[in-house]
Amino acid sequence: MIPGPFYILFLVFVGTALLVFAYGLFTTAGAKKLEPLGPERGKRGESGVCPVCGRVLKNGEQIKSAVFPGEGERLVHIFGCPHCHPYPEKGIERLCPVCKKPVSAESYLIARLFERPHKKRHVHILGCLSCRLPKRK
Ligand SMILES: [Zn+2]
Ligand SMILES: [Zn+2]
């Protein structure tokens, strides 16, 4: 025979265990939704995706960059897309695709633009200021 108070305690324990289990399921599902690969987020480095914040760009949205004069291989500074430059939108993270460190709003990524006759333009991201340039002491 189980005494009354113990029986109630047992039920409370089962209830708590179920709640914890449900909470675990819920948070796992929630965490999965926050993965960067959503409908508006793409892989950094793919065409049509901002290399700074990883957002898929719509028609007319352009990445702001500065291309330095030269021939063949040209140096490019990539500042970002309208969603992350000059002011990052809520929930937008400016990250370097090379070292995964945050890129501040005033900072930029360094890239190389390859332009060859009769070939598609190709942009190769080299990194941000902190991983591309040697650290000043
Ligand atoms: Zn962006
Ligand atoms: Zn970097």
Q: Which bound ligand lies closest to the C-alpha atom of 102? A: 2
Q: Which bound ligand lies closest to the C-alpha atom of 135? A: 2
pTM: 0.66
Query: How many angstroms separate the CA atoms of 99 and 88, rounded?
Result: 19
Taking the centre of ligand 1 as the mean of its atom positions, its distance from the CA of residue 24, in whole angstroms, is 33
> Do residues 29 and 59 share a domain?
no
Contact 114, 72 (CB under 8 A): yes
Taking the centre of ligand 1 as the mean of its atom positions, its distance from the CA of residue 38, in whole angstroms, is 15
H runs (alpha helix) in 34-72: none
In total, how many domains does the chain have?
2
Question: Residue 84 pLDDT > 60, yes or no?
Answer: yes
Q: Which bound ligand lies closest to the C-alpha atom of 81? A: 1
> Do residues 25 and 91 share a domain?
no
Mean of pLDDT values over 102-121: 90
Q: Which bound ligand lies closest to the C-alpha atom of 105? A: 1
Tell me what the pLDDT averaged over the chain comes to.
Answer: 80
Query: How many angstroms separate the CA atoms of 114 and 124, rounded?
Result: 8
Contact 64, 88 (CB under 8 A): no
Which residue segment(s) compose the domain that 24 sits in?
Answer: 1-34
